[in-house]
Amino acid sequence: MGLLEELYEIKNQPNGIVEQIKQQIYTNKKFLKENKIAQYNIVYIDFGDKLSENYTNNKIIQRDVNETFSIKEMFDKKGLNCGYNEFRYSHMAVILEPIHHKYLLTKNDKHFSILVAPISSKRHKDSIKIESKYHIFLDRDSYILMDNITNISLEKINIKLTNSIFQKNNRKYPKVSIPIIQQIHKSIKERFKI
């Protein structure tokens, strides 16, 4: 569930936070629609900070286990991840589900979140290699982490970083190749037994 849906369930929301999130979702939908970014395109996602870590003067210090966070802090950090193994921070990701551009920003628009698979330079057991020699926007060989497929709220798309890969990719929004799409399909079938 996205932060916006959660906020609708809370009786006393912080002032302006719902409007801030709605505006960010609108901005990101407009960005997706205008640039025809869809299934199998690669975008940057802000996955959120690790809940158990705090950064002060570039040093990691453990958070107090009794520390609480306001909804404003959750929004500013793009969500806080609880576990040590949860994927976090800004990373590229492959969009796994179709985005119906004809519905974006219309009264029939139901897009508030999308399914993505993060991309990392660290290999996991269930990952698909993307070689930098065939993908000029990558600094080094990377991996689509099929064991970290997640549903993210649309406000987590980072337009600025996504535009940086557009610049590196001959001014095109990158999309994974057909052989990689086939590997994604195979991995999803095996993982979900479908």
> Three-state SS string across 124-157, please?
CCCEEEECCCCCCCCCCCEEEEHHHCEEEEHHHE
Ordered structural domains, the chain, with CATH: 3-48+67-79+87-192 (2.30.30.110)
Burial (CB count within 10 angstroms: exposed 0-12, middle 13-18, buried 19+), residue 29: buried
Q: Give 1's pLDDT tier (boundaries 50, 70, 90).
A: very low
Which of the pair, 60 or 92, is modelled with greater confidence?
92
Whether residue 78 has pLDDT greater than 60: yes
Whether residue 170 has pLDDT greater than 70: yes
